[in-house]
Homo-oligomer: A and B are copies of this chain.
Amino acid sequence: MTDHASAADTGHVQPLEPRQLEAYFVLLEAVSLLQHAVEQHLRAEGDISYVQFQLLARLFHAPGPLTMTQLADGVVYSRSGLTYQAGLLEKAGLITRGPCPDDERATRVTLTDAGRDLFHHVLPGHVRLSRRLLFDPLSDDDVDHLGDIMTRVRDHMRAQPPRSAAPRKRRTATPALPAEAAT
């Protein structure tokens, strides 16, 4: 565990796996702590959960209204969970759900002015908090590297075959993976 050993040595001290595991675990631990803190802050600041904040952020940055599926795909979230949260946000007057002209079954989710206001209300504190918790101990270079790394990781995982949120995306052609849930 405490095997720091100046990494510059490039020696084959370890099969890399332990360091990978350590990085993996500390990554999840740190993010978990961060999420918790952020959740508390958002609740206190604007009485919304982090998921709701994410939804508002997605809608805010999108050029126009989004469908439920686009939202659920952006935020990692189950469809039913999104329906629930959208219900809450709509009841709170932060978003509106309406029919989509192109696709009769789709639901167009639109950010209301109140939603935009709320987002603007909580964003500064959110930024401040994330800076204090996450970026305080990091150099500008670290930030760049971190962003670069996680962007690659995200794109890699997004490109990966089947995501949990889309178990029905079974196309007619999936020739290479017949075995499933092998005991």
Contact = CB atoms under 8 A, between A and B. Distances in A.
Copies of chain A in the complex:
2
Interface stretch (A87-95, A97-105, A108-116, A142-150): A142-150
A29 B51 CA distance: 11
Contact of A6 (B40, B141, B158, B160): B141
Contacts of A76: 29, 32-33, 35-36
A137 interface: yes
Interface string A59-90: 00000000000000001100000000000000
A142 to B, nearest CB: 5
Given A30-B157, A133-B156, A139-B2, A150 B20 contact: no
A16 B143 contact: yes
A164 interface: yes
Interface of A: 1-7, 16-17, 19-37, 39-40, 44, 57, 75-76, 127, 130-131, 133-158, 160, 163-165, 181
